[in-house]
Amino acid sequence: MIRGPLRWTFGSQNLASSFGQKGLMIPSVQTGSPRTSRSRRLLLQYLRKSSSLSATAYSRTVQLPRPDGKLSPAFGKLWLRDNCQCSKCIHPDTKQRMVQSFSIPRDIDIVDAVVYQEQAINVEWSDGHVSCYPFSFLNRRMRNIPPRNPAKLGDIQWRPFETCTPGQEQYPTVSYSAVMANDKAVLEWLENIYRWGFCFVKDTPVDPQATEALLNRIAFIRTTHYGGFWDFTADLAFKDTAYTNEFLGAHTDNTYFTDPARLQLFHLLSHENGDGGASLLVDGFRAAKILAEENPGHAKTLRRLRQPAHASGNENHCITPQQHYPVFDRHIGMPLLFQIRWNNYDRSIKWDWSVDEQYEWYEAARHFDEILRRPDMEIWTQLEPGTALIFDNFRMLHGRSAFTGKRRMCGGYINNDDFLSRYRLLKFGREHVLNNLGNVKHSAPNPFFYI
C-alpha cells in the first residue's frame, strides 16, 4: 500500500531496442520506492501486449499510476486534458464544458503526476494547467477500444440551400403583420428559413403574447425542461450558459435531445443600463462544405464518429439522447446531410473509441472549429425590440457577445416534424403531400425531398 505521495515524471525514452519505437512517454518513480523497478517492468510488459495501439498512438498515450502501484491501461493524453473535471474546465453550476477544446495544443503532454491519499492523481500539463482525476473517474473509463474499420462513406451531399454573407445590405426579412394576416406570407417566411437558414420578422410588437402568437403561426411551441414559451433574463434560473451574460460561441441547441428542436426564435424585449449582447449566426452547412473541400477526410470523420451530449445543470435533470450522434448527420432515406450537431459546451465524455480515433476526431473538429471562427463566416447583428429572429437549429449555429446591464428576451422552440409539416403543406397542398407519403426520390416535386 502506498503511504505517501507518489510522484511520477514523464520524459521521452528510446525504446528502439524493445519496440522499434522512439518518443514513447514512460512514467518513472521519483521516491526511491521498492516498487520502482516492478512498476517499470509492469509497464513494459503491458506495452509489449498492446498490439491494438498504432505506432502513432504510442506517443499520444500515457499510463497513469494506480494506488496499488500498478499502471492503468493507456489513456489518450488529449482526451485526458479535454476531460479535466476541475471548475475551470467544467462549470460547477451548469456542468457544461468551459475549456476551449480546440485551443489545447495538439502535442499536449504530461509534465508531472502525483498520487494523493490513494483517491486521486494530480496531473501537471505542458500547457500549465493542473488537473485532478479521482480514481473513481478513471476506473470507469479504463477501456482501450481497438480501431474499427471505417465505414465506406461516399462524398458528402447536401440538401439544396443558399447562404448569406456577413455585412450584406439586407438579410431575409418578413413583416409581422403580413405573417399574422395570411398563409401566403407564412409560406414566404418558412421558405426564407429553409432556403437561407434564418429570417427576421420586422415590426413585431414588443410584447411576449404577440411574439408567442407569431410562433404559433407555424406550429405549437415545444415544451422542454426550459418550459414552453420563454420570457427570461440572465438570472441562471436554469443552469445553462444561455442564462448568463457571458460570451457564447457558435453552437446548435439541444444536442442532448434525441430529436433537437428545429426552429428557435429570439425577440429582445428590452436592454437596460448596459450594452453588448450582439447576436452571432454561422451557416453550418457552408462551413461543412468548406471543410469537405479543404479536407474530405476530416468531413468524413465528423460524419462517422459519434459524440455523446448531456444537459445536467439542474439537479432534477440529466438529459442525454437515446443514442450518440455525429456532428454531421445524414438522412437515411436520402443520403443528404441535413443536420449539424455542434455544441462543445454540452459535449459529454466519450468512452467507446480508440486513441487513434480520438486524435482523428479532435483534428477534424479543430479544423471545423477554425472554419466557424473565420470572420467571413460570422454574421453579427444587434437585435432590437420590435425585430424577432428565427433560425434553423439543424443548420445555423448561433451565439452572442458578452453584455452588461439587464436584458429581457422571449422566444421558443418548434419541433422539426411540425415545421416540415407546415412547410410542405403550404408549399404543395395537402393532396400532393398525401400522395407522396414515403417518397424518397431526389426530386423537387417530392414534398419529402425537403428535409
The answer on 256 and 111 residing in a single domain is: no
Same domain, 402 and 377: yes
Same domain, 101 and 170: no
Do residues 293 and 299 touch, judged by C-beta distance below 8 A?
no
User: What pLDDT score does 118 carry?
Assistant: 83
- Asked, for residue 56, whether it belongs to a domain, the answer is no
Q: Which of 143-147, 273-277, 370-374 holds the top average pLDDT?
A: 370-374
Which CATH number goes with the domain that contains 231? 3.60.130.10
Answer yes or no: do 304 and 337 share one domain: yes
> Alpha-carbon distance 182 to 372, whole Å?
37
Among 113, 139, 165, residue at a domain's last position: 139
Is residue 270 assigned to a domain?
A: yes
Rounded Cα–Cα distance for residues 201 and 265 (Å): 10
Residue 397: name the closest of 300, 267, 266, 281 by CA: 281
| End-of-domain residue from the set 139, 165, 197 | 139
Tens-place pLDDT, residues 402-417: 999 999 999 999 999 9
What is the rounded average pLDDT of the residues 192-200? 98
If asked whether residues 200 and 125 sit together in one domain, one would say no
Q: What is the pLDDT of residue 41?
A: 40
- Co-location of 165 and 190 in the same domain: yes
Q: Do residues 27 and 9 make contact, with C-beta atoms less than 8 angstroms apart?
A: yes
| pTM attached to this predicted model | 0.81
Of the three residues 84, 110, 139, the one that is the final residue of a domain is: 139
Q: Is 321 inside a domain boundary?
A: yes
CATH number of residue 127's parent domain = 3.30.2020.30
Give domain status of residue 403, yes or no. Answer: yes
Q: Which of 46-50, 82-86, 156-160, 364-368 shows the lowest mean pLDDT across its residues?
A: 46-50
CA distance 127 to 237: 35
CA–CA dist 432, 434 (Å, integer): 6
Q: What is the mean pLDDT of residues 194-204?
A: 98
pLDDT tens readout for residues 268-293: 999 999 999 999 999 999 999 999 99
Max CA pair span of the chain: 84
H/E element holding 432?
helix 430-435
Amino acid at the residue 157: Q
Between CA 398 and CA 171 the distance in angstroms is 16
State whether 135 and 228 are in the same domain: no
Greater model confidence, 340 or 16 = 340
Q: Is 250 among the domain residues?
A: yes
Predicted confidence (pLDDT) at residue 422 exceeds the cutoff of 90: yes
Residue ranges making up the domain that contains 134: 61-139
Same domain, 252 and 120: no
Q: How confident is the model at residue 2 (pLDDT cuts 50, 70, 90)?
A: very low
Q: Could you tell me if 191 and 76 lie in one domain? A: no
Distances (CA, A) of 98 to 246, 249, 309, 364, 408: 11, 11, 14, 20, 25
70 vs 364, more confident: 364
Can you say how many angstroms the Cα of residue 368 is from the centroid of all Cα atoms in its chain? 11
Judged by average pLDDT, the poorest of 52-61, 237-246, 382-391 is 52-61
Kindly state whether residues 159 and 93 are assigned to the same domain: no
Kindly report, residue by residue over 201-237, the tens digit of the pLDDT.
999 999 999 999 999 999 999 999 989 999 988 766 6
Sort residue 254 into left (φ over 0), alpha (ψ -120 to 50) or beta.
left
Separation between Cα atoms, residue 243 and residue 14, nearest integer Å: 52
Give the CA distances from residue 370 to residues 49, 66, 250, 444, in Å, rounded to whole numbers and listed in that order: 38, 37, 11, 34
Of the candidates 211, 226, 194, 175, which has an alpha carbon nearest to the alpha carbon of residue 392? Answer: 194
Dist CA 264 CA 222 (whole Å): 10
Interval 13-66: pLDDT, tens: 322 222 222 233 334 333 333 333 343 343 334 333 443 445 555 589 988 888
Assess whether 190 and 79 both reside in one domain. no
Helical residues (DSSP H) of 119-175, grouped into ranges: 135-139
- 327 located within any domain: yes
- Any domain includes 409: yes
Number of domains in the chain: 2
In sequence order, what are the beta bridge partners of 267? 388, 410
Predicted confidence at residue 400, as pLDDT, reads: 94
- Whether 175 and 216 map to the same domain: the answer is yes
- Whether residue 147 is contained in a domain is answered as no
Q: Is the pLDDT of residue 70 over 90?
A: no
